[in-house]
Amino acid sequence: MVDTSNHTPLSWEEITNNLDGVKKQGIRQFIYQYKKHKDRRNDPLYWGDEIEYMIVKIDDEEKTTKLCLKAKDVLETLNKRNIGNRTPIWTPEFGAYMVESIPERPYSDLLYSISEVELSMKERRKELTSVLEEDEIPFTLPSYPRLGVGCFAVPSTERNPNNVTSKPWFSPDDVIYKGRQRTTSIHQNIKDRKGGKIEILIPVYQDIKTKLAFPAVIKTKCKMEQSNDNSIFMEGLVFGAGCCGLQTTFQMDNLDEARFLYDQLVNICPIMLALSAASPVHRGYLSDIDTRWPVLSQSFDDRTDEEKGQKPLKNDRFRIQKSRWSSVETYICPEHSQYNNTDIVYDKDSYEELKNEGLDEALSKHIAYLFIRDPLFLCSETLDQDEILDIQHLENINSTNWQTLRLKLPICNTSTGWRVEFRPMEIQLSDFENAAYAVFVFLVTRIVIAYRLNFVIPISKVDENMSAASKRDAVLEEKFYFRRNSFSDKSITEIKITKPGQLKTKDGNDFCRMTIDEIINGNVEFPGLIPLIKTYLESKCEDTDEETNHLTNSYLKLISDRASGAEPTTANFIRNFVTTHPYYQQDSIVSDIINHELLKACAKKSNGGIK
């Protein structure tokens, strides 16, 4: 992305006056990049991760914890350092208490690179810790449990809830990172575009003494039509954008392979969301969900009432079914178009232009779907762009479609090729856990490519899976639609003697509802992802060593145990800690002292990991 730190951001009104020209330029930019790179081949199969941290100050004397709003200073210190050749890359995130890191260089597709992942994560945590005070801890925790409750940050950000203004109820602007114009502009433009505040409702966990979680004084002021007394109310983008996540990105040999992998990962996304669940507490309450995803989806929802179907279309063009932060809307390979069984809304002018330039229908609809969204950040200095030299208008659209997967274009003037970003996972407490989840997804991509596996099911069933994935204890209590025959009619024994690349997929709607344990560990109809991975690893035994094998098996054991329930998810651990705490009043409230001791326990897990 172009450095816009010295540019002049446009207001939403100014953006609306330039929408047509910006979108047309964005489509032309995609067409040029597509034609330039559609035939490139033999890019190395690199991959990497993104880790997001929140900085928390722990006061053992007062028995309190608070978010530490010092990300700007921390980033300045980190980026001034130059520690050898393995210096990680540090960048800001939405919250003033958040920082993001990626490895200094990507991992390779060779199996021995698996041993580099956890090492890199440990080095990054160590480096971040080194620039913090002794009572400050970098947590890899999706959501801060008491965000928006009282004085939850330092410096103090406490608001008076009786002073009702246009400002958020629970999240003062102080918690937003001010060092990047893009962050503050997107925050404001989401509100201006939708024509109101960002309001979020999620179900509260109903315990024996749970009382009203939705304050009546707020209920009379907000627009939420589906509000009820059993909801946790949050207002402000920070409740979603202020969550931490774990993303992985995979560079593929060519565009065709990237599209194939994208489609095969579509239904892996809800499985990994449920399997990584780590967010049961929001705004000081135990909720009845286990992930941050519903909060993110609502916080980034910039649709107007017309686009939601609550009013007749008059000023807007589309009825849009999903938030900007959502599951994938469409498969992007032509051979999977039959599984796009929902009504796909797309910009028909963009679609026709893409088709006329030689793109197939599947990819044209994917891009045209992205372009039903408006850019949320524009600068006056970069309004008029060249379709050959520039790509920013395209990236402004692509990067603000926060779907579970993202097809990423080659980066101009670099060796970086076509990539697929895997986005649904909740971040885990320890580096060992995060490495396990990242490596597991990496190995899933390897078996998908090697065995040409077919995980495609109707997109409507993927949407149902996503809805189930965030439910309380979904990993054990819910069932998910999954293909039971992702390959030819072979037993797992026969698969073991098949060379990678020789397995053929079986077409047809051969799917059923399975538990995550069955999907990960297998059943009589489906061998399971981990057995398939182990088969693949056996075929590649000459590419690794005993130490890497042992480490890989420890990662697979964690994933297997989480799927079976032998090892609780992070969400289950947090929920159980709260409900069994001696100060818990069976009222769903996570008090200051419970939160303090919970985060102390999380810090212990972060240091010790799970092995």
310-323 b/e with 16+ CB inside 10 Å = b? Answer: eeeeeeeeeebbbb
Mean pLDDT, residues 30-39: 96
Burial class for 74, CB neighbours closer than 10 Å (0-12, 13-18, 19+):
buried
Model pLDDT, residue 558: 99
Mean pLDDT of the chain: 90
CATH of domain 47-298+426-608: 3.30.590.50
> Could you tell me the pLDDT band of residue 387, with boundaries at 50, 70 and 90?
confident
Model pLDDT, residue 217: 47
> Which among 262, 240, 239 is positioned nearest to 249, based on CA atoms?
262
Residue position matching structure tokens 């026709």: 352
Strands (E), 208-262: 231-235, 246-251
Pick 275 or 392 by higher pLDDT. Answer: 275
User: What is Dmax (Cα atoms) for the chain?
Assistant: 70
The secondary element (H helix, E strand) that includes residue 68 is strand 64-68
> Which among 199, 232, 228 is positioned nearest to 213, based on CA atoms?
232
Say yes or no to pLDDT of 82 above 90.
no
Residue position matching structure tokens 């232009």: 353
Model pLDDT, residue 541: 79
Indicate the residue type of 266.
Answer: V
Model pLDDT, residue 219: 53
pLDDT in tens, 324-350: 999 999 999 999 999 999 999 999 999
Between the alpha carbon of residue 602 and those of residues 65, 67, 569, 591, 597, the distances in Å are 12, 15, 13, 16, 9
Mean pLDDT, residues 436-448: 98
Model pLDDT, residue 221: 52
Question: 591: which 2 tokens?
Answer: 């008090």
Model pLDDT, residue 318: 96
Model pLDDT, residue 385: 82
Mean pLDDT, residues 246-272: 98
Say yes or no to pLDDT of 489 above 60.
no
CB 450 within 8 A of CB 501: yes
Say yes or no to pLDDT of 553 above 80.
yes
pLDDT in tens, 106-137: 999 989 999 999 999 999 999 999 999 999 99
Q: What percent of the chain has pLDDT over 90?
A: 78
Model pLDDT, residue 308: 96
Between the alpha carbon of residue 14 and those of residues 29, 215, 314, 536, the distances in Å are 22, 36, 20, 54
Model pLDDT, residue 544: 83
Mean pLDDT, residues 86-97: 91
Other CB atoms within 10 Å distance of the CB of residue 266? 25
Mean pLDDT, residues 404-423: 94
Instruction: Please work out, in degrees rounded to the nearest 5, the angle formed at the alpha carbon of residue 570 by the alpha carbons of 567 and 575.
Output: 105
Model pLDDT, residue 503: 41
Q: Is the dihedral of CA 493, 499, 502, 505 positive or negative?
A: positive
pLDDT in tens, 198-225: 999 999 999 999 987 555 545 545 555 5
- Span of 180-189, 223-232, 250-259, 472-481 with lowest mean pLDDT: 223-232
Indicate the residue type of 420.
Answer: V
Residue position matching structure tokens 């392979």: 257
C-alpha 146/C-alpha 590 separation (Å) is 8
Model pLDDT, residue 491: 45
DSSP string, 341-399: -S-----HHHHHHHHHTT--HHHHHHHHHHTTSPPS--BGGGSS--TTT--HHHHHHHT
Say yes or no to pLDDT of 436 above 90.
yes
Model pLDDT, residue 179: 84
Model pLDDT, residue 504: 43
> Could you tell me the pLDDT band of residue 226, with boundaries at 50, 70 and 90?
low
C-alpha 86/C-alpha 601 separation (Å) is 31
Radius of gyration of the chain (CA): 24
> Which among 148, 477, 133 is positioned nearest to 282, based on CA atoms?
148
Residue position matching structure tokens 């390959």: 487
Contacts for 462 with CB less than 8 Å, ≥ 6 apart: 266, 267, 269, 270, 327, 328, 481
- Span of 376-385, 498-507, 541-550 with lowest mean pLDDT: 498-507
C-alpha 299/C-alpha 233 separation (Å) is 12
CB 46 within 8 A of CB 251: yes
Say yes or no to pLDDT of 384 above 90.
no
Contacts for 84 with CB less than 8 Å, ≥ 6 apart: none
Burial class for 179, CB neighbours closer than 10 Å (0-12, 13-18, 19+):
middle
Say yes or no to pLDDT of 160 above 80.
no
Between the alpha carbon of residue 80 and those of residues 54, 77, 400, 590, the distances in Å are 20, 5, 29, 39
> Which among 260, 258, 241 is positioned nearest to 249, based on CA atoms?
258
Pick 535 or 499 by higher pLDDT. Answer: 535
Strands (E), 415-486: 419-422, 480-483
C-alpha 313/C-alpha 315 separation (Å) is 6
C-alpha 225/C-alpha 194 separation (Å) is 15
C-alpha 282/C-alpha 271 separation (Å) is 22
Model pLDDT, residue 487: 75
Model pLDDT, residue 70: 96
